[in-house]
Chain A
């Protein structure tokens, strides 16, 4: 065999090694035939294609698997809790001292009630606060950086956003629990609570201002965590606004601000909405930071925005130990149901974000947390 042809054979170590491992040290021709076959397989590209194809299937399979596992595990809880899961406020894993009770085939602790309404409302409410605060801040900051400040400042902003996106959520939690939360309880909350007019509609913003662990603190900490996603996407979108219409607006005698408001922002609008939905998904699912500043208040809705509450994600974490002590395993199933609800909500937000941006034909959204 010419020398040149042997080189690629030697360069397919994995294929040859596998082949060798299976073939007995027998006649020389058999080994060569197997080696040739392996080489041809590698040459045809099927090996690379097959292996990478399998890898590409992993995320889709994982996604389906996640939903399947959650649904399967949660099923008895879904049956037991029924619609009450979405309408009741009481959350009680039942007594671990009494005898377990069997309802409809599912074994659970006596007196178990799982009403997830406060969890769901807490999840939606804290995320809503986050979005309401984070989106204007992100868009405004991105706008001034792209349109007004020198390019060097845009680099600084990029670095800022990377660091902000990279800081672990427990560190935000630590900050929220020990410096930001107390600050709100001491200064911001009393100030707002005192000046909100005495109207029944605004009662949610009045009254006791708590100790800094609560819905408002959690929402604002989440806002900080959502900013990188919205701001970096908005910055990229604004940079891609074509120069021509902006120039046309300037030639019409419009000021920089009017150009931004009339041309740049409308151009980026659907992308910004998509990025906001992505940020919403991130806020809905954020766990540690919320768990550390929420006050972990289960079983009722908070009576105002300053008081402790909880979210689905924070509950799954904070009820870790209690769930393990339920000998019937039913608490684990109830938490699986909560996780399933959370997964579905975030899934919807994610898919909506991507559909919206695809429809607009804008830039690609960042993956996940927007790093």
Chain B
């Protein structure tokens, strides 16, 4: 674990300092996004902006549509049978659904980390380099440096420096998730989507990943889906509450938790729903 990440905000005093979200440019925005599968509508008219260099947490009960929204931000839902959508998602003002948009380019800019670690069946170093090689981001002589840089960025280098050539499946769950994070960072995304990245991890790994996310902004814009309200509180600048496929309320994290303007939000964040 790198020294910079040794202290993790766990007490209210260490919650992220409130940033003025209104003055920041928006990296990603959904415009009246409605989507579903077949006859089922999963998300209804979502309007939500993700300010540059901030962490946004998507919270809400199971089935509220938050994961579906996350997956539509880099069009991972495209492959789902009978998927449809209305409205739009703008990345730096450009529609990601416009004809001619290259999925490969989009996903290079909007990366994703999944609920469970999903390393590829290749060596640890090749895992980090998978995207770099495919997109031909750097020449071969830089590969080694990139592996080291990205692994140290996520605080994994010390643990694996002597076995970069071996299989990632011998690593612990937390280490595998860090590897997946390093892999996503290696292609240099502007936005990083995380789908409950710590739900299958132990508390120490969770803490480590949370502090890592704080360290990655402001260079990155992060969107994280979480079931864990305390986690949202710890890492997010902005929090959006979803209920039954609608965006109920989005606000700076502190305000959403302390003075929610909608009764449903109040019930959820106080633990009476969910």
Contacts and interface: CB of A to CB of B under 8 A. Distances in A.
A in complex with B: yes
A245 B120 contact: yes
B112 interface: yes
Nearest to B184: A252
Contact of B120 (A253, A255, A262, A269): A262
Contacts of A244: 114, 116, 118
Contact of A266 (B114, B121, B180, B187): B121
Interface in A231-250: 242, 244-245, 247-250
Contact of A248 (B74, B120, B187): B120
A269 B122 CA distance: 12
Contacts of B104: 253-255
A263 interface: yes
B134 A258 contact: yes
A249 B114 CA distance: 11
B145 to A, nearest CB: 20
Nearest to A254: B134
A80 interface: no
Contacts of B79: 250
A262 B134 CA distance: 10
Nearest to A266: B121
B252 interface: no
A247 B114 contact: yes
B131 A254 contact: yes
Nearest to B186: A252
Nearest to B76: A251
A253 B114 contact: no
Contacts of B108: 252-253
A252 B118 contact: no
Contacts of A250: 76, 79, 107
Nearest to B106: A253
B111 A245 contact: no
Q: Most chain-B CB neighbours within 10 Å: which of A244, A254, A266? A: A254
Interface in B38-94: 74, 76, 79
Nearest to B103: A253
Contact of B134 (A247, A252, A266, A269): A252
B121 A251 contact: no
A331 interface: no
B255 to A, nearest CB: 32
A267 B121 contact: yes
Interface in B116-141: 116, 118-122, 130-131, 134-135
Range of interface residues on B (Cβ < 8 Å): 20 to 34
Contacts of A262: 120, 122, 130, 134
Interface string A295-312: 000000000000000000
Contacts of B180: 248
A286 to B, nearest CB: 33
Nearest to B180: A248
B81 to A, nearest CB: 10
Given A251-B76, A253-B135, A245 B106 contact: no
Interface string A343-362: 00000000000000000000
Contacts of B183: 248, 252
B105 interface: yes
Contacts of A249: 120, 130
A252 B114 contact: no
Given A247-B76, A247-B114, A262-B130, A252 B121 contact: no
Contacts of A253: 103-108, 131, 134-135, 187
Contacts of B131: 252-254
A309 B267 CA distance: 83
A252 B128 CA distance: 11
Nearest to A261: B134
Nearest to A151: B81
Contacts of A242: 118
B229 to A, nearest CB: 26
B182 to A, nearest CB: 12
A269 B167 CA distance: 15
Contacts of B134: 252-255, 258, 262
A272 to B, nearest CB: 13
Contact of B118 (A247, A254, A266, A269): A247
B103 A263 contact: no
B119 A245 contact: yes
Contact of B107 (A251, A267, A269): A251
B121 A245 contact: yes
Given A253-B108, A262-B130, A248 B122 contact: no
Given A244-B114, A247-B114, A262-B130, A252 B122 contact: no
Interface string B207-232: 00000000000000000000000000
30 contacts: A242-B118, A244-B114, A244-B116, A245-B120, A245-B121, A247-B76, A247-B118, A248-B112, A248-B114, A249-B130, A250-B76, A250-B79, A251-B107, A251-B111, A251-B112, A251-B114, A251-B184, A252-B183, A253-B103, A253-B105, A253-B106, A253-B107, A253-B108, A253-B135, A254-B130, A254-B134, A262-B130, A263-B120, A263-B121, A266-B121
Q: Which 9 residue pairs spanning A and B have beta carbons closest together? A: A253-B107, A251-B112, A244-B118, A248-B118, A266-B121, A252-B131, A253-B108, A253-B104, A245-B118
Given A245-B119, A254-B104, 13 more contacts: A244-B116, A245-B118, A250-B76, A251-B74, A252-B183, A253-B105, A253-B134, A253-B135, A254-B131, A255-B134, A262-B122, A262-B134, A263-B120
